[in-house]
Structure formats: C-alpha cells, structure tokens
Amino acid sequence: GESVGLHLPTLSVQEGDNSIINCAYSNSASDYFIWYKQESGKGPQFIIDIRSNMDKRQGQRVTVLLNKTVKHLSLQIAATQPGDSAVYFCAEILSGGSYIPTFGRGTSLIVHP
C-alpha cells in the first residue's frame, strides 16, 4: 500500500500572541532537556536547555517549563513573530548513559501576520 508521510502537530497563532509548544518525553530518568528550532532548509538550532534540578528557565522571549511528575516539557514564546515560524523539537538526554539526545517528532509553528 501507499506509505503515509509523517504529519507533524501544527500550532497556528497570530503575530503578537504567546505560543506554547508541548512535548512529552519518554524516559523518567532523563535529566537534561533541549529545545531546538528548525527553519525550512536549515538545520536544528539550539534555543534553550534545562536541567532536571530546575522546573523553569527563561531566555529572551522564551521560557521552558519542566514537569517531571508527568514527563512533560513546554516551550513558551512570548509575542510570537513571523520569524518564529518553524518546526520545534524537544530532546531529552540521560546523563550517565550515552549522553545522546533522543529527539521528539516536532511541532510545526505557523505565525500569521
């Protein structure tokens, strides 16, 4: 039969709104987490990271929240701009293991002017 391509979850927002992108990670022992942004035709770009001894970390217009109880990570983008349109990936790493990140499947963010 015909193979079906992967359809990424999509979040559409208006310019100026706040965006929240969610990620469920798989390993409760993971203790380091990274968010990447991938624009069309480019490689994933590091945005922000957080270690498991924290539950919140802020950067410039971005905030990452970590809820270890339910294995959930979120990326909040304030005052979303058209340049924020991209696919966003979360990655989890287990320290003391291979230190190789496990990437999520990604969420497509579309910002409408």
Partner 1 sequence: DAGVIQSPRHEVTEMGQEVTLRCKPISGHNSLFWYRQTMMRGLELLIYFNNNVPIDDSGMPEDRFSAKMPNASFSTLKIQPSEPRDSAVYFCASSLGPYSNQPQHFGDGTRLSIL
Chain residues in the site for partner 1 (CB under 8 A): 3, 5-6, 31-32, 34, 36, 41-46, 49, 51, 89, 93, 95, 98-101, 103, 105-106
**Among residues 47 and 111, whose Cβ is nearest to partner 1?**
47
| Exposure of 57 in the CB half-sphere (CA atoms within 13 A) | 15
Least distance from partner 1 to the Cβ atom of residue 113, Å:
25
Class of residue 68 by CB neighbours under 10 A (exposed 0-12, middle 13-18, buried 19+): middle
**Among residues 14 and 45, whose Cβ is nearest to partner 1?**
45
**Among residues 51 and 56, whose Cβ is nearest to partner 1?**
51
Least distance from partner 1 to the Cβ atom of residue 48, Å:
9
Q: What is the torsional sign of CA 43, 61, 76, 73?
A: positive
In this structure, how many other beta carbons lie within 10 angstroms of the beta carbon of residue 108?
16
Least distance from partner 1 to the Cβ atom of residue 52, Å:
10
SS3 38: strand
Both structure tokens of 54: 């924290």
**Among residues 25 and 89, whose Cβ is nearest to partner 1?**
89
Least distance from partner 1 to the Cβ atom of residue 103, Å:
5
